Structure 1
Amino acid sequence: MDWDKLRIFHAVADAGSLTHAGDQLHLSQSAISRQIRALEDSLNATLFHRHARGLILTEQGELLFDATKAMMRRLDTATARIRDSEEEVFGELRVTTTIGFGTLWLAPRLPKLFAKYPELNIDLMLEEQVLDLPMREADVAIRMKEPSQADLIRKRLMSVHMCLFASQDYLAEKGMPERPEDLTNHRLICQNPRSAQVGAGATLVQELMTNEIPALLTVNNYYGVLQAVLHNLGIGVLPDYLSRDFTQLERVLPDIHSVEVPVFLAYPSELRQSKRIAAFRDFVQEEIILYRKEVQKQADS
């Protein structure tokens, strides 16, 4: 089967239109259309339903697209391994983690990584969905539970607890709760227990709600919860690692917290020789060691 025709088919199927595929491949629509027709003739199958709004894959087209996606992922892996230099760290690294950890812990620390490796490009994918690392939906992941997929190298980084925080200004005005029942006099800010999040956080929120808290603000990620807390809207359920970077926050009811949430770094075993992976892994581990030292220093002071 002609590889060039497969490459063009993949671009059209991925883009959903001849125009967008042509822009990516720097080919005219007529040239792309000829290649697609030739591929359909060689397979004796129709690959696309054509209509005014674009192209939709037929059942046969879906089968071929699944195959070309797998081929492209393997090519990406081979390209990454070839480009990894013995001496240098450069190129793109696709990192996936949760919205909360990515925005509140990882992203603020990335300037140090870029300062050390200016030719490294990070594609930071923040979402609660677990991406498939062996299928190369991402190169490396930081997850709030141990990965279950096979063929992954994994490293436990740290543990997190979900805790209650409020701003110092809020507590100065509204007062510090002394016991869980006092939360009925405050607004609780948290993720909706039904939204995608760390299970320990959802469990803690459900336990807190047994106190019949009348005022509630739910947000679909921890970044939004943090912003509401910083703007003195109430008491928020947030990860404990924020206490180091946001000194205006104060723990509320310190005996109340979630169970331990393990944080793991994982990447496909086939990328074990990747200099980019090694650079990112070492950077994250060094930052966590520094974070722990600063937290301990804070606790001792």
Structure 2
Amino acid sequence: MDWDKLRIFHAVADAGSLTHAGDKLNLSQSAVSRQIRALEESLNATLFHRHARGLILTEQGELLFDATSAMSKRLDAASARIRDSEDEVFGELRVTTTFGFGTLWLAPRLPHLYEKFPDLKVDLMLEERVLDLPMREADVAIRMKEPSQADLIRKRLMTVRMKLYASRKYVDKHGIPETAADISEHRLICQNPSAAQVGASAVMVQGLMTHNPQSLLTVNNYFGVLQGVLHNLGIGVLPDYVTEDFPDLVHVLPESDSSEVPVYLAYPEELRHSRRIQAFRDFVQEEIIAHRKHLKALGKL
């Protein structure tokens, strides 16, 4: 069904006159009449009773007018929301990041985002595979290396290091290793070598494995590694951003810390002016600043 004809029909039904509708639409009476006649022919129905005082809707015309009225209200509402979107944040935002960062750092902080923007709908996609942002597989990504895809806006957020952690209960019972060679007397908890992970973590684990840990627990993501550490199973390789939320973790063998791993936020160039993207970007930056301040207060930075 032709949208333009429906628009003209709605104006005629609302005005009750071809002439008045034409004035409103800046069309001649004959042009309006031709559009109405063409719409009636396409529907094989008479939409107006014509008499000297104007036009009255037929039963079929009333059905169509109800539909175009509902459409008009929805379009007006959408137009208002679009105009208001310069000041409001609403709608769906698809965010992709790694399983570890998403579960251990981002998800616990999302309540702060929803407090500011309760109408926002976040679809959090956690996977190690790099989604194609230019092809709109996601709207925004947080990754542990600079994205190589073209037509992306990139912002370096922070750096992280992979470090060795143990629970306080574990070190009270088993002691703290003094050198990397002492890992031979402990159980090492780390990502499975076959799991996707940042290069710095893989290099760190390879170095530790040369010291023949007494026992080994491998998991395919950092959330699983953290659970093993919190349940006193051994010494785990974890990103340092977990320390704020789990202050009782003990950092061991600092000389074994990995090199710095950059964390980037990226989104397509075409979304540069998206209020949802801007709100999420500002939220992440604010949380990182608060994270650093808290670590500094704890003497961990």
What's 1:132 paired with?
132
What's 1:157 paired with?
157
1:97 is aligned with what amino acid? T
Cα deviation 1:50-70 (Å, max 9, x = unaligned)? xxxxxxxxxxxxxxxxxxxxx
What's 2:267 paired with?
267
Q: How does 1:91-240 map to 2 (within 5 A)?
A: 91-240=91-240
Cα distance between partner residues in 2 of 1:179 and 1:86: 57
Where in structure 1 are there 5+ consecutive unaligned residues?
1-80
Cα distance between partner residues in 1 of 2:145 and 2:252: 26
1:248 Cα shift? 1.5
Sequence identity of aligned pairs in percent? 70
What's 2:4 paired with?
none
Secondary structure, in 3 states, of the residue corresponding to 1:113? Answer: helix
Secondary structure, in 3 states, of the residue corresponding to 2:243? Answer: helix
Size of the alignment, in residue pairs?
221
Cα deviation 1:250-296 (Å, max 9, x = unaligned)? 10111211111000000000000100000000000000011111111
Cα distance, 1:84–1:200 mapped onto 2, change above 3 Å: farther
Question: Are 2:96 and 2:138, in contact at CA under 8 Å, matched by a contact in 1?
Answer: yes
Cα distance, 1:300–1:238 mapped onto 2, change above 3 Å: closer
1:243 is aligned with what amino acid? T
1:101 Cα shift? 0.2
1:194 Cα shift? 1.9
Cα deviation 1:99-147 (Å, max 9, x = unaligned)? 0000000000000000110000000000000000000000000000000
1:300 Cα shift? 7.2
Secondary structure, in 3 states, of the residue corresponding to 2:244? Answer: helix
**Larger radius of gyration between Structure 1 and Structure 2:** 2
Cα distance between partner residues in 1 of 2:190 and 2:201: 9
Secondary structure, in 3 states, of the residue corresponding to 1:255? Answer: helix
Cα distance between partner residues in 2 of 1:201 and 1:145: 13
Cα distance between partner residues in 1 of 2:131 and 2:83: 23
Question: Are 2:133 and 2:268, in contact at CA under 8 Å, matched by a contact in 1?
Answer: yes
Cα distance between partner residues in 2 of 1:82 and 1:203: 49
Cα distance between partner residues in 2 of 1:209 and 1:300: 27
Cα distance, 1:83–1:120 mapped onto 2, change above 3 Å: farther
Cα distance, 1:83–1:280 mapped onto 2, change above 3 Å: farther
Question: Are 2:183 and 2:214, in contact at CA under 8 Å, matched by a contact in 1?
Answer: no
Cα distance between partner residues in 2 of 1:150 and 1:95: 18
Q: How does 1:35-74 map to 2 (within 5 A)?
A: none
1:214 Cα shift? 3.1
Cα distance between partner residues in 1 of 2:161 and 2:133: 26
2:199 is aligned with what amino acid? G
Judge which range, 187-196 or 131-140, deviates more.
187-196
What's 2:296 paired with?
296
Secondary structure, in 3 states, of the residue corresponding to 2:291? Answer: helix
Question: Are 1:157 and 1:285, in contact at CA under 8 Å, matched by a contact in 2?
Answer: yes
Secondary structure, in 3 states, of the residue corresponding to 1:129? Answer: coil
Cα distance, 1:300–1:216 mapped onto 2, change above 3 Å: closer
2:162 is aligned with what amino acid? M
Cα deviation 1:181-223 (Å, max 9, x = unaligned)? 1111100000012211111111100010010113000000000
1:273 is aligned with what amino acid? H
Cα distance, 1:83–1:197 mapped onto 2, change above 3 Å: farther
Cα distance between partner residues in 2 of 1:215 and 1:288: 35
TM-score normalised by L of structure 1: 0.72
1:82 Cα shift? 5.8
Cα distance, 1:287–1:222 mapped onto 2, change above 3 Å: same
Secondary structure, in 3 states, of the residue corresponding to 2:289? Answer: helix
Cα distance between partner residues in 1 of 2:265 and 2:112: 19
2:298 is aligned with what amino acid? Q
Question: Are 1:84 and 1:276, in contact at CA under 8 Å, matched by a contact in 2?
Answer: no
What's 2:287 paired with?
287
Question: Are 1:187 and 1:234, in contact at CA under 8 Å, matched by a contact in 2?
Answer: yes
1:108 is aligned with what amino acid? P
